[in-house]
Amino acid sequence: MAPGSNPVWGYSQQNGPSTWHEQYPVAKGQRQSPIDIVTDKVEFDRTLSDNPLNIIYSNNCCQSVTNTGASFQVAVDGTGTEISGGPLDNTYKLVQFHAHWGHGGNEGSEHTVDGVTYPAELHLVHWNTKYKDVTEAVDKSDGLAVIGIFFTEGKEHAGFKSVSDLFSKVPRKTDKVDIKFKFDPACLLPAGRDYWTYLGSLTTPPLFESVTWIVMKDPVEVSAEQLAALRSLLWETPSGEGQMCNNYRPPQPLQGRLVRASF
Ligand SMILES: [Zn+2]
């Protein structure tokens, strides 16, 4: 990186999360994500348990998988999908999902629970249909709702396998492959539907403070091979091409926010 040049954001020493505030001052804002969820401090909220989160996906909404250079991303046609209830005052539609992960071992999730990390965290991104489209919603305070799901290492996840098997077809940034089979992203949800919720942000630049976070309490199991498939994706680093990993932002200050629990 030439001195004085504006590096593109990334996760390396030179352009990683601790530098993002230089180009994105909101990185030091009042509702940044992720956070450490301190279970002693969360507040059970009966309105959440009385008004369950409603999640409707379909088996033909997923269109393609792209290597974005910072994660994989499954593009979704949100027609026929919706989430509502729980902490949400409106109906939101699914637009994409992606993940964050480590280099092996137990680090890699963005949210942490009492300081405990998981090897990966999946993000299902939805936009508020009170806006025209996701572009209009993305920077509004109630514009997005993201469901976060922790991955833990265990048995193979048969549903996720159909997606993780496609990673070998998109090794490099901008590589894209169509999804030509039926895949229902609901298969990625844990069986238990307990969650924590709080107001936060995108965890990548431009870090807009527009996300109602819904972090599922129960992790889902994926195999060591499926975690390795994430790391088989490639990205550009300041020192050349490398295995995509450690693409997570560490927890940010809570700044007095309340984290509510549905359970
Ligand atoms: Zn994410």
What percent of the residues of the chain are helix, what percent strand, and what percent coil, each to the nearest 5?
Answer: 15, 35, 50
Cα 100 to middle of ligand 1, angstroms:
6
What CATH number is attached to the domain comprising 142? Answer: 3.10.200.10
CA distance 14 to 17: 9
* 7 in any annotated domain: no
Cα 121 to middle of ligand 1, angstroms:
8
Cα 65 to middle of ligand 1, angstroms:
15
* 244 in any annotated domain: yes
* 4 in any annotated domain: no
* 3 in any annotated domain: no
* 43 in any annotated domain: yes
Query: Which residues on neighbouring strands pair with residue 54, listed in sequence order?
Result: 84
Number of domains the chain contains: 1
Contact 185, 62 (CB under 8 A): yes
Cα 6 to middle of ligand 1, angstroms:
23
Range of the domain at 189: 17-261
Per-residue pLDDT of the chain (263 residues; tens, 9 = 90+): 444 445 689 999 999 999 999 999 999 999 999 999 999 999 999 999 999 999 999 999 999 999 999 999 999 999 999 999 999 999 999 999 999 999 999 999 999 999 999 999 999 999 999 999 999 999 999 999 999 999 999 999 999 999 999 999 999 999 999 999 999 999 999 999 999 999 999 999 999 999 999 999 999 999 999 999 999 999 998 889 999 999 999 999 999 999 999 99
* 227 in any annotated domain: yes
* 52 in any annotated domain: yes
Q: Please tell me the total number of residues recorded for the chain in this structure.
A: 263
Contact 106, 224 (CB under 8 A): no
Cα 73 to middle of ligand 1, angstroms:
10
